[in-house]
Amino acid sequence: MWPSFLATFSWILLFGYMIILSKSEVNYDEILHEENEKIRIERQKSIKAQWNLESNITDYNEELVTKASKEYDHFRKQQYNSIKQYLTDEHKQNMTKNQRRQFERLGFLGFSILDENEGIEFKNIQIQMEKIYSGATINTELQTNLTLEPDLTEIFATSTNESLLKDIWIKWRDVTGKKMRKHFVDYVYLGNKAAKSLGYNSIDDVWMFDWEKDSIKQEVERLLNDLMNLYEKIHAYVRFHLAQNYNQSMPNDGTIPAHLLGNMWGQTWSNLLSTIPTMQLKPNLPSLDSEINEKLQNWTVKQMFQMSEKFFNSLGMENMTRQFWEQSIIEKRNDVEMVCHASAWDMFQMHDFRIKQCTRKTLEDLVTIHHEMGHIQYYMNYENKPAVYREGANPGFHEAIGDLMSLSVITPVHLAKVGLLNRSQIEQNLDDLNLNYQLRMAMDKIAFLPFSFIIDKWRWDVFNDDKLTNHMNRHWWELRLKYQGISPPIKRSEKDFDPGSKYHIPAGVEYVRYFVSHILQFQFYKHLCQNVTKMDKLYQCDFYENKMAGKQLIEMLQKGSSDHWENILKDFIGTSEMSTDAIYEYFAPLNRTLSDFIMNNKISVGWNAKVDDYFIEEENSSGSTPSITMNIFILTLISIFIMIS
């Protein structure tokens, strides 16, 4: 009996050893190389279809996007089934850290986890919402078929006609958000279903996968709270000047009407410095935008892009590729309907990177060009990484790189270097120009922060509370009143869907990336300015032509998402913590000046608003989920019929 037991035990040991040996002999690098190449090819097909649709919105291109999305989801399910055996602890313990990271990213299905019919429905909902948004036009008393870009954007940037601005504000929301409300409810239902299939609670949990930090939502709110003191001063300063021009339109609760801020969504306010010159801290000087916009009328749009390329090249970065210049769309095409929202594209094909932008000859769009080209530089620098690493360290990194360049580009000193400002004027009035410049930057950068937080705070709340689908618009205005101190020009109701008037809602793009980018860009800027260029005054720093700054940037960009973003952040600037310190240092002169102005003019700071004052309670028109169920049922019947026939 004893020898028999020993023999059996020996066989068990041998069998266990063979299992361990077989796992240790798996060539993980070879598998990863094959799977990364597969996903690169499939992403290429999907992105090409999306590019074709956004640059030429037709029913045919819609069908191709739906087909490509279906094929991509099918591929991802197949890929997951082929690699899930390597996601076990037994295999992971035999992998390097890099191998584990790649397998885990390949194993995350995201919304591809939906079954075929639900996946098609989910994509079609997004297509329909984007189509409503991109095809929207309005009429005024004097003009017809006005589009967002460039028509309505231009009016908001240049007009002080309060009744016209109010009319446009209302009509834009009527032809966008109001028409997609029911679609959005369906989108939430299916997106949450996908999230639950992945073991999460809601859509935002899927979005947060790339952030790799459970506390990121709380951290973002902490950062916003740190900056509210500065925001409230800017809000009070702007409200004071608006009251002098629009006294009859200003509420008594301290809020600012949303249509008076020079932007369709009240997210950036710097256009006011051109329409209300007395708002400048030094009004005797022309606004940066007015002077530069006038000079840009003598430029071509391509020259604006070449100026941006030259800036990146001066840091030692590569020029744009041949494919970039051949395939990019840098001016609005009048022969087709297209999505004008500026965007940068990695086509996942060798050297094929593109920008799509309906460019206007303005300083604002020149800044946008640098932002989008920052994305392209990121794409170019991590092009040779495995496909699963061809992303920013986190989504906010990607947005921060272009904006980092803009911080340098838009300094008065740099604008003089490139011939957009008069050098003698700079030399004579540098301190005053810098104060005006700081105010302009704050009215874009700081004013934007509560808005960028609200976009996703609102979605996080809606995704996680079924009851809010009946009160979506009310909750939207609760948040805008609370965090931004901005009110609607007329009472709203649940028949409206005002969040849908902003592109990123119908497009399903998470927005906290833009908030984080506004924090990181100042941390990046401080590091490059004080540790590389040795500039004392942060707000005057221009690292144009500084190859050392470029070298450090390139090293960071080339990593893509190959490591946790906090590690990449620490390697780049010496700390893994996000902080508002750099922002307060950058805006220190403005902060002091605003405090003095507010005290000297006895301006009250803050607001005390109630949503009930701006909202009409009535039966909502949110729709319900049965429409989804019916659509999926019909798709299922069609599939069965095809199989039978």
Known binding-site residues equal 371, 375, 399, 513
Question: 232 in helix, strand or coil?
Answer: helix
Of 500, 501, 492, which is closest to residue 618 (Cα–Cα)? 492
How many helices, marked H, and strands, marked E, lie in the chain?
Answer: 27, 4
* Dihedral sign for Cα atoms in the order 140, 180, 517, 106: negative
Rg (CA), the chain: 27
Distance CA 472, CA 292 (A): 41
- The DSSP symbol for 24 reads H
Residue 552 burial (CB count, 10 A): 20
CA–CA gap between residue 396 and residue 392 (Å, rounded):
8
Q: At what angle do helices 588-600 and 216-245 cross, to 10 degrees?
A: 50
Residues paired with residue 475 on neighbouring β-strands, in sequence order: none
Binding-site members for chloride are 513
Options 398, 475, 504, 527, the catalytic residue: 504
> Which amino acids are annotated as binding site for Zn(2+), given as ranges?
371, 375, 399
Contact indicator for 159, 275 with CB cutoff of 8 Å: yes
Do 202 and 643 contact (CB within 8 A), yes or no? no
Could you identify the residue written with the tokens 């608006």? 242
The rounded distance, in Å, linking the Cα atoms of 54 and 511 is 20
User: Residue 281 and residue 429: Cα distance in Å, rounded?
Assistant: 13
The Cα–Cα gap between 416 and 439 comes to 19
Place of tokens 């990593």: 559
Q: Which residues contact 98 (CB under 8 A, 6 or more apart)?
A: 562
504 is catalytic: yes
Distances in whole angstroms, Cα of residue 558 to Cα of each of 39, 124, 289, 576 = 20, 35, 34, 18
Catalytic residue among 118, 372, 391, 510: 372
Question: CA 282 to CA 566: how far, in whole Å?
Answer: 41
Nearest-CA neighbor of 473 among 506, 497, 456? Answer: 497
Catalytic residues: 372, 504
